[in-house]
Chains A and B, each alone.
Chain A
Amino acid sequence: GNSVTQMEGPVTLSEEAFLTINCTYTATGYPSLFWYVQYPGEGLQLLLKATKADDKGSNKGFEATYRKETTSFHLEKGSVQVSDSAVYFCALGNQGAQKLVFGQGTRLTINP
């Protein structure tokens, strides 16, 4: 079946550090891939998405590239800020299923 595996957390970085959160997936067909962010006590917000191989999603300085050959969609940011502290979820949407499968989430803490 479809599944998403995320880098184990929590992750703690200093402000202005480089961020990578790994995400790999297992799926049949050609899934869409998403990164969502959840701030404390809130719902999830879409951060970025990619719908086909080699697409790059980007938003607010975050980027992720859909790599079909490695079945990965790693999240990166060149210089993190304290305000980026949150839980990040990688998700997969398979063709026609109209459902998302979520990874377990990675808690990110940025220290000033």
Chain B
Amino acid sequence: DGGITQSPKYLFRKEGQNVTLSCEQNLNHDAMYWYRQDPGQGLRLIYYSQIVNDFQKGDIAEGYSVSREKKESFPLTVTSAQKNPTAFYLCASSPIAGIYTDTQYFGPGTRLTVL
């Protein structure tokens, strides 16, 4: 079955440690995205990538880093510089559809808790 995999579902880290969240897709989509969701709030875009070896900052990129070495993988590193990293992190992917913004497909999410 095609889809997006995020692992692990729950992640606990000590304050001051970097942590990397995994996102893999087998949908052959060109674009991939990372969002952060806080309780009772909408989604905020952290980073996105439309092509391998290229990515752009979203609205809240500070304290995060990404890489896109393979089309199917877009890992997110939450660094110690992120002041409030505890949140639910969602990865998404989308085909590039010319001038239109096409549907984004979401993974199940990773809940990160920093102790």
Q: Which residues of A contact B (CB under 8 A)?
A: 31-32, 34, 36, 41-46, 49, 51, 89, 93-100, 102-105
Contact = CB atoms under 8 A, between A and B. Distances in A.
B14 to A, nearest CB: 24
A51 B100 contact: yes
Contacts of A45: 106
Contacts of B31: 98
Interface in B24-83: 31, 33, 40-43, 45, 48, 50, 58
Contacts of B103: 34, 46, 49
A98 B105 contact: no
A105 B41 contact: yes
Report the interface size class on chain B.
Answer: 20 to 34
Contact of B42 (A42, A89, A93): A89
A89 B40 CA distance: 12
Interface string B90-115: 10101010011111111111010000
A95 B105 contact: no
Nearest to B58: A99
A41 to B, nearest CB: 8
Given A103-B42, A104-B41, A98 B101 contact: yes
Nearest to A29: B99
13 contacts: A41-B109, A43-B106, A43-B109, A44-B90, A44-B106, A46-B105, A49-B103, A93-B100, A95-B100, A95-B101, A96-B99, A105-B40, A105-B42
